[in-house]
Structure 1
Amino acid sequence: MLRICLFFVAGLLAVPFFHQPVLGLLNALAIVPVAPFNLSPTLPFGVPSLVSASFWGGIWAVIMLLVLRWEPSKPQPWIKALLFGGIALTAVALVIVFPLKGMGFDVAKLPGRMLIGFLVNAAWGVGTLIFARSLFAR
């Protein structure tokens, strides 16, 4: 149970320290219109967007822990974490989250959204392993 909790914390922290800075870089380069560290309330509970994203980062970290069967004593699966974040999280965002938020499934925008999603979510995956390794070292 402690393992799951620590991985949740690692995924939660990876959002503000890895996911959001990459989003900020893409925003600064005018690639995406979405600014990082958004504190506007989300539906249905009115939780700030950054807090919601961090919570879901923790949930996804637990899923990644189970899928990758991560063990602190084994070599770090950096590429697997990068691909898990970049592919799994992006696919769920494009197929489930965007339509639920009324953003639709626009085929014309799909390649760009896939690339942007891959970059920010892959950063989250690697960041989660960095935090997990730090937390488990203690």
Structure 2
Amino acid sequence: MKKVLLLGFLCGALAVFVFHQGTLYVLHHQFPLIKALTGAADAFRPATSGFSFRSVPPLGVPQVLSLAFWGGVWGIVLAALIRYAHMPDLLTGFLLGAVACTIFGFTVVAQLRGAPMWGGGNSIIWWRAMLLNGAWGWGAAFLMRPFGVGGRGD
């Protein structure tokens, strides 16, 4: 159990820096190429390139550190699903991030922040959030692989 808690948190937090923020960085800086290859709408390009140190309420910590903390918490959930529900790691990671984390963010987190529920109904915000959160989940599961989180016994 300790292994799941510790590795889940560490891999989830690290996945925020590498995969979530890395995907945001690539989307922002390589958008002309992405648009040329996929035909993505201009609105799909994020306004920032990630790694924001803007303070966020209620504690005033930098945004990227807040994201890393919550990525660690969700990483524990992911590690538990992989370990105890015996679910496929990379698929479970992607789906947990793309679906569960996105829905949680657009409902519970939006309510706490006073933001529009469900991303204000903007489908582009939904697709971008699902891509970023899915990248986080896939990356967290990928980072857990060398530690045998999916194996049996602690």
String of CA shifts for 1:59-91, please: whole Å, max 9, x gaps.
0011122233369xx895211211111101111
2:5 maps to 1:4: yes
CA contact (8 A) 1:10 1:135 kept: no
2:115 maps to 1:103: yes
Q: What does residue 88 of structure 1 align with?
A: 100
Look at both structures and tell me which one has the larger radius of gyration over its CA atoms: 2
Tell me by how many angstroms 1:17 deviates: 0.3
Seq. identity, %: 28
Q: What does residue 39 of structure 2 align with?
A: none
Q: Under a length normalisation based on structure 1, what TM-score does the superposition of the two structures give?
A: 0.84
Residue type of the alignment partner of 1:2: K
Aligned length: 134
CA contact (8 A) 1:42 1:48 kept: yes
SS in 2 for 1:69: helix
Q: What does residue 48 of structure 1 align with?
A: 62
Provide structure 2 residue ranges, at least 5 long, that are not aligned to the other structure.
32-41, 150-154
2:113 maps to 1:112: no
Provide structure 1 residue ranges, at least 5 long, that are not aligned to the other structure.
none
Deviating above 4 A after TM superposition, structure 1's stretches of 4 or more consecutive aligned residues are: none
Aligned with residue 78 of structure 1, among 90, 107, 111: 90
Q: Under a length normalisation based on structure 2, what TM-score does the superposition of the two structures give?
A: 0.77
Tell me by how many angstroms 1:133 deviates: 1.6
Q: What does residue 134 of structure 1 align with?
A: 146
